């Protein structure tokens, strides 16, 4: 075995692939070879480091030097200065990792300091395509323990005692689900993983599959042993090609090593896994719809009960958990239920992964103990709002969640506190909005999404959300009427109560929460026909600032509606609002920036 004096870790998550990390890796290979040190330095393509904003990311150990936004040209500098001469290239380090000329270890950087990584523990640390690396980090040890030392009922007991709840959004106690499936009658049972991560702005499942795919293989096998199943399905979005590829490699490697297949670890236990690709339907994240889709049908939900634990894939008892839920399982087995249940709040144990995005400095993926406040996430980890703008709201739970305003920013995050605020945990998307975002526009955006993705089976969701969207469209176009807010509230209540599945039952949440916290914005749109954030095009006015107008007349020439009056060189120009079509041509045309929209 070769001994290496340094490790170069290059992030290979989707974020960094998009910023060009493959080029960086090629360049490193080439450069290490040119300098004849390819046998001294180990180059590793890892999963997501989490800080996508700073990508492509390169970390060099043993120093833990955190290089960010690396270009191919920078590679030679790192190789020549750092790897050959031992001098860390300060100018290329992530800005927060240098303090008064001292270089901070990566764990001390603001973004990572408050995090606790359980589900993401191997992401960005190991090569996801090398089973040896996973095994070196205690991989498959939990499966070995379970198969050789524990009875299935004991495994379920550990999961129950840990207090783990489903990370896909609903927050149902995982141990109970396992127990129901174990107790269900059936000659054949199935294990399924929900990796149909459809919430816009959420990418935690993808990052786990890309960065640590073996953890899912191991956890599914553990679940198979606990509930008495020998077959598992992973349902993954087709939009995640890298995740699918790495998961397939993991399954193949595990099979080759005898960690999947027959008689695993010499025990009387067989287990195998198959990947099923989604085909682009958000509703397939709902469990009964997902089961229909695995069976090759239209992905439409059906009424529950019977729950999948009794009647799931091909009518057989099925245990369905989310990717992130499974990712915590091996650690719970290894460290014990008590260790896990000490983390978090009274009713929400452990950690949760969030995808932080929108108007925030450090966009990316983070994992925090339950009970961390929203403020800590946004300001300490996220680094605050860019360009000195004011925080307005944070949206959690995707199209099923709601917007949380400044006044509740000190709320500790857990399943119940978010529901109390009219939002929900959801799968963990967290989108930050600043003063420039119009809350009605955001509510309209989510409704547009749910209308598009509603499967059409039940009328409250199919027709009701459409009517709500029409009202919101009217409001943002300046055609809002008094009484619209009340109508929205009434429709919301009815849709929530009468829809068949989670999609419809939660679809009104973005509207209800924005009405609750930002009613004044709705009122100003409806009554004053004004969008205070300057987003809703139809409600804007283009005006000439008299002091800046140089009377050149260019705007009047460019105006397609001929609604700008003035006399060249003599009289300041002005726009006739009643004829203006709000095309913005005058703003672009004015060389003195004297025309603004307000």
Q: From CA 594, how far away is CA 545, in angstroms rounded?
A: 5
Q: Which is nearer to another protein, 179 or 197 (CB)?
A: 197
User: Which residues within the stretch 341-380 sit at the binding site for another protein (CB under 8 A)?
Assistant: 355, 357-359, 363-364
Mark 380-419 with x for binding to another protein (rule: CB under 8 A) and - for no binding: ---------------x--x---------------------
When binding is defined by CB under 8 A, the residue of 78, 126, 217, 281 that contacts another protein is 281
Q: Does 239 bind another protein (CB under 8 A)?
A: yes
Which among 59-67, 246-254, 277-285, 467-475 is the span making contact with another protein, rule CB under 8 A? 277-285
Q: How many residues does the chain have?
A: 598
Q: From CA 283, how far away is CA 281, in angstroms rounded?
A: 6
Q: Does 280 bind another protein (CB under 8 A)?
A: yes
Min CB(52)–another protein separation in Å: 2
Strand partners, 356: 364, 430
Q: Does 455 bind another protein (CB under 8 A)?
A: yes
Q: Does 298 bind another protein (CB under 8 A)?
A: yes
Q: Which is nearer to another protein, 318 or 348 (CB)?
A: 318
Continuous H helices in 78-138? 110-113, 131-136
Q: Does 14 bind another protein (CB under 8 A)?
A: yes
Q: Which is nearer to another protein, 231 or 595 (CB)?
A: 231
Q: Does 295 bind another protein (CB under 8 A)?
A: yes
Query: How many residues of this chain interact with another protein, rule: CB under 8 A?
Result: 53
When binding is defined by CB under 8 A, the residue of 61, 180, 265, 445 that contacts another protein is 445
Which among 38-46, 112-120, 170-178, 431-439 is the span making contact with another protein, rule CB under 8 A? 431-439
User: Which residues within the stretch 505-524 sit at the binding site for another protein (CB under 8 A)?
Assistant: none
Q: Which is nearer to another protein, 359 or 530 (CB)?
A: 359
Can you state the angle between helices 213-227 and 323-335, rounded to 10 degrees?
70
Q: From CA 552, how far away is CA 566, in angstroms rounded?
A: 9
Q: From CA 277, how far away is CA 244, in angstroms rounded?
A: 8
Q: CB count, 10 Å around CB of 471? A: 20
Q: Are 45 and 55 in contact (CB under 8 A)?
A: no
Q: Does 422 bind another protein (CB under 8 A)?
A: no
User: Which residues within the stretch 301-340 sit at the binding site for another protein (CB under 8 A)?
Assistant: 314
Min CB(106)–another protein separation in Å: 17
3-state secondary structure labels for all residues of 432-480: EEECCCCHHHHHHHHHHHHHHHCCCCCHHHHHHHHHHHHHHHHHHCCCC
When binding is defined by CB under 8 A, the residue of 94, 269, 271, 282 that contacts another protein is 282
- Measured CA angle at 343 (ends 337, 349), to 5 deg: 75
Q: From CA 587, how far away is CA 552, in angstroms rounded?
A: 14
What are the strands of the beta sheet with 351-358, ordered from one edge? 364-369, 351-358, 429-434, 391-396, 402-405
Min CB(424)–another protein separation in Å: 15
Q: Are 196 and 237 in contact (CB under 8 A)?
A: yes
When binding is defined by CB under 8 A, the residue of 8, 21, 24, 52 that contacts another protein is 52
Q: Which residue reads 């996801």 in tokens? A: 128
Which among 48-56, 114-122, 180-188, 246-254 is the span making contact with another protein, rule CB under 8 A? 48-56
Q: Does 201 bind another protein (CB under 8 A)?
A: yes
Question: What is the DSSP-derived secondary structure letter of residue 537?
Answer: G
Q: Does 296 bind another protein (CB under 8 A)?
A: yes
Q: Which is nearer to another protein, 32 or 430 (CB)?
A: 430
Can you state the angle between helices 213-227 and 174-183, rounded to 10 degrees?
50
Which among 2-10, 31-39, 370-378, 430-438 is the span making contact with another protein, rule CB under 8 A? 430-438
Q: Does 442 bind another protein (CB under 8 A)?
A: yes
Token pair of 155 as six digits: 């495994």
Q: Which is nearer to another protein, 162 or 476 (CB)?
A: 476
Q: Which is nearer to another protein, 283 or 575 (CB)?
A: 283
- Taking the mean position of all CA atoms in its chain, how far away is CA 517? 24
When binding is defined by CB under 8 A, the residue of 199, 367, 414, 521 that contacts another protein is 199
Question: What is the DSSP-derived secondary structure letter of residue 424?
Answer: -
Cβ-in-10-Å burial (0-12, 13-18, 19+) of 151 comes to exposed
Min CB(133)–another protein separation in Å: 24
When binding is defined by CB under 8 A, the residue of 146, 294, 471, 507 that contacts another protein is 294
Can you state the angle between helices 519-527 and 465-476, rounded to 10 degrees?
60
Min CB(514)–another protein separation in Å: 14
Continuous H helices in 500-541? 502-506, 509-517, 519-527
Min CB(351)–another protein separation in Å: 20
User: Which residues within the stretch 202-221 sit at the binding site for another protein (CB under 8 A)?
Assistant: 202-203, 206
Min CB(378)–another protein separation in Å: 14
By three-state DSSP, how is residue 412 classified? strand
**How far is CA 33 from each of CA 5, 41, 172, 500, rounded to the nearest angstrom?**
15, 10, 52, 60
Q: Provide φ and ψ at 82, rounded to 5°.
A: -80, -55
**How far is CA 242 from each of CA 129, 386, 576, rounded to the nearest angstrom?**
11, 31, 54
Task: Select from 219, 278, 271 the least CA-distant residue to 243.
Answer: 278
Q: Does 189 bind another protein (CB under 8 A)?
A: no
Q: Which is nearer to another protein, 88 or 216 (CB)?
A: 216
Q: Sign of the C-alpha dihedral, residues 156, 367, 359, 12?
A: negative
When binding is defined by CB under 8 A, the residue of 74, 197, 212, 521 that contacts another protein is 197
Residues forming the site for another protein (CB under 8 A): 14-15, 17-19, 51-53, 55, 197-203, 206, 238-240, 276-282, 293-300, 314, 355, 357-359, 363-364, 395, 398, 429, 431-433, 437, 442, 445-446, 455
């Amino acid at each position: 075995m070769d001994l290496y004096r340094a490790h170069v870790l290059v992030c290979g998550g989707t974020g960094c692939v998009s910023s060009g990390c493959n080029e960086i890796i090629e360049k490193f290979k080439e450069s290490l070879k040119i300098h004849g040190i390819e046998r001294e330095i180990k180059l590793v393509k890892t999963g997501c480091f989490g800080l996508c904003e700073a990508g492509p990311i390169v970390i060099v150990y043993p120093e833990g030097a955190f290089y960010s936004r690396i270009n191919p040209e920078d590679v030679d500098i790192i190789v020549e200065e750092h790897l050959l001469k031992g001098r860390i290239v300060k100018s290329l380090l992530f800005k927060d990792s240098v303090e008064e000329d001292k270089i901070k270890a990566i764990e001390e950087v603001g973004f990572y300091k408050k995090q606790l990584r359980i589900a993401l523990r191997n992401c960005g640390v190991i090569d996801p395509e090398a089973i040896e690396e996973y095994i070196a980090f205690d991989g498959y040890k939990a499966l070995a323990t379970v198969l050789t030392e524990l009875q299935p009922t004991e495994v379920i007991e550990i999961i129950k005692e840990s207090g783990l709840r489903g990370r896909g959004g609903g927050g149902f106690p995982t141990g109970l689900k396992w127990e129901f499936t174990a107790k269900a009658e059936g000659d054949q049972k199935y294990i399924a993983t929900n990796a149909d991560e459809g919430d816009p702005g959420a990418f935690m499942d993808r990052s786990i599959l890309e960065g640590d795919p073996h953890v899912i293989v191991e956890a599914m096998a553990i679940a198979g042993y606990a509930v008495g199943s020998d077959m598992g399905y992973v349902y993954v979005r087709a939009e995640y090609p890298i995740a699918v590829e790495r998961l397939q490699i993991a399954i193949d490697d595990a099979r080759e090593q005898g960690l999947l297949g027959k008689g695993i670890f010499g025990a009387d236990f067989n287990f195998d896994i198959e990947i099923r690709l989604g085909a682009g339907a958000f509703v397939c994240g709902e469990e009964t719809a997902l089961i229909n889709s695995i069976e090759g049908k239209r992905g439409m939900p059906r009424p529950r009960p019977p729950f999948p634990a009794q009647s799931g894939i091909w009518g057989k008892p099925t245990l369905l958990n989310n990717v992130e839920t499974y990712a915590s399982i091996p650690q719970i087995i290894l460290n014990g239920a008590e260790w896990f249940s000490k983390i978090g709040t009274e009713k929400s144990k452990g950690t949760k992964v969030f995808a932080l995005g929108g108007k925030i400095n450090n966009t990316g993926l983070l994992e925090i103990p339950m009970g961390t406040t929203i403020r800590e996430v946004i300001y300490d980890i996220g680094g605050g709002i860019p360009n000195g703008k004011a925080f307005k709201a944070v949206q959690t739970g995707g199209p099923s969640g709601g917007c949380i305003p400044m006044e509740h920013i000190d709320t500790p995050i857990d399943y119940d506190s978010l529901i109390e605020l009219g939002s929900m945990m959801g799968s963990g998307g967290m989108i930050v909005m600043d003063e420039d975002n119009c809350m009605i526009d955001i509510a309209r955006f989510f409704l547009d999404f749910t209308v598009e993705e509603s499967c059409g089976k039940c009328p409250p969701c199919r027709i009701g959300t459409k009517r709500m969207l029409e009202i919101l469209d009217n409001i943002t176009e300046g055609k809002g009427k008094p009484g619209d807010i009340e109508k929205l509230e009434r429709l919301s209540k009815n849709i929530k109560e009468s829809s068949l599945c989670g999609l419809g039952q939660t679809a009104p949440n973005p509207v209800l929460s924005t009405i609750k916290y930002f009613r004044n914005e709705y009122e100003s749109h409806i009554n004053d026909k004004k969008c205070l954030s300057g987003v809703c095009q139809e409600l804007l006015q283009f005006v000439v600032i008299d002091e800046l107008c140089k009377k050149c007349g260019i705007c009047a020439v460019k105006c397609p509606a001929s609604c700008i009056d003035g006399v060249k060189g003599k009289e300041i120009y002005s726009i006739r609002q009643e004829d203006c079509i709000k095309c913005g041509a005058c703003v672009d045309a004015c060389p003195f920036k004297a025309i603004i929209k307000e």
